[in-house]
């Protein structure tokens, strides 16, 4: 087991990458705190973990709320006594429109859920990790954290911001035992991706953008997150790691 007795917090743990990562953390020996805004989904993840012999609890929290993030870490420490790993994963796709037509309300929401949530998470994770003598943070970015995508200004801006925040953590806390890295998946078969795809032509266009001729799979992403969360990645800090089927090579 790579993560025996580590305590890991996962935001957006009720579905997609968050659920898959919660299951993988538990399989590798971690005690997992699953956080999600939808209780039913979070509890489903807990059931899957415990049925497989893992240990986990669910804490309902809105990732875009500073107070909920503070509560999440407090309750985690109250229950397990420490925090070793944080996977800041919660996110939404947002509206699709050119910048000159992008709804202001949609901008505010996607920045709150996809970017402010990462800041709020780390704002309360880092002080606790310092008390433990260190820890590991993995933030879910995207290939759109490096390039643009027409019609998705909110998502692109948020994910660029996630990459930048992650680099700052490495600069500010590396000597104190905290590692932070971001992961940039290409387009992957998830509910979020399907929300972004309006029709078959759009889907085929996304496939074309990946030289491998297909979209990614969730398991292909979470294996990288697991490695970055483990001691095997002990010299990786401040990095932005893409898993994109060659998307950025074009």
For residues 55-64, give the mean pLDDT: 98
| Residue numbers annotated as active site | 155
φ and ψ of 208, to 5 deg:
-60, -35
For 174-215, the pLDDT digits (tens) are 999 999 999 999 999 876 666 556 677 888 888 999 999 999
DSSP letters spanning 199-212: SHHHHHHHHHHSTT
Q: Residue 94: which region, alpha, beta or left (left: phi > 0; alpha: psi -120 to 50)? A: left
| pLDDT number for residue 190 | 75
Please state, in angstroms and rounded to a whole number, the distance separating the CA atoms of residues 2 and 60. Answer: 27
Domains of the chain and CATH, by start: 7-187+217-249 (3.40.50.720)
End-to-end C-alpha distance for the chain, whole angstroms: 38
| pLDDT number for residue 65 | 98
For 124-156, the pLDDT digits (tens) are 999 999 999 999 999 999 999 999 999 999 999
Please state the pTM of the whole predicted model. Answer: 0.95
């Amino acid at each position: 087991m790579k993560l025996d007795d580590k305590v890991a917090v996962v935001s957006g743990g009720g579905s997609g990458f968050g659920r898959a990562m919660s299951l993988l953390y538990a399989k590798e020996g971690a005690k997992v705190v699953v956080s999600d805004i939808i209780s039913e989904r979070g509890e489903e993840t807990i059931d899957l973990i415990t049925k497989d012999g893992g240990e986990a609890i669910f804490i309902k929290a809105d990732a875009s709320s500073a107070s909920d993030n503070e509560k999440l870490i407090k309750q985690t420490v109250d229950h397990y006594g420490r925090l070793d790993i944080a996977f800041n994963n919660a996110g939404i796709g947002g509206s699709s429109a050119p910048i000159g037509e992008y709804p202001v309300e949609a901008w505010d929401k996607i920045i709150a859920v996809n970017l402010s949530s990462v800041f709020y998470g780390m704002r309360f994770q880092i002080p606790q990790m310092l008390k433990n003598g260190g820890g590991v943070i993995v933030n879910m970015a995207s290939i759109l954290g490096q390039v643009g995508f027409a019609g998705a200004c909110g998502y692109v801006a948020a994910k660029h911001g996630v990459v930048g925040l992650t680099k700052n953590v490495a600069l500010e806390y590396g000597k104190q035992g905290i590692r932070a890295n971001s992961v940039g998946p290409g387009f992957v078969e998830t509910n979020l991706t399907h929300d972004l795809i309006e029709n078959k032509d759009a889907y085929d266009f996304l496939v074309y953008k990946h030289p491998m001729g297909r979209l990614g799979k969730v398991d292909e992403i979470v294996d990288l997150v697991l490695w970055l969360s483990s001691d095997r990645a002990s010299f990786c800090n401040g990095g932005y790691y893409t898993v994109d089927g060659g998307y950025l090579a074009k």
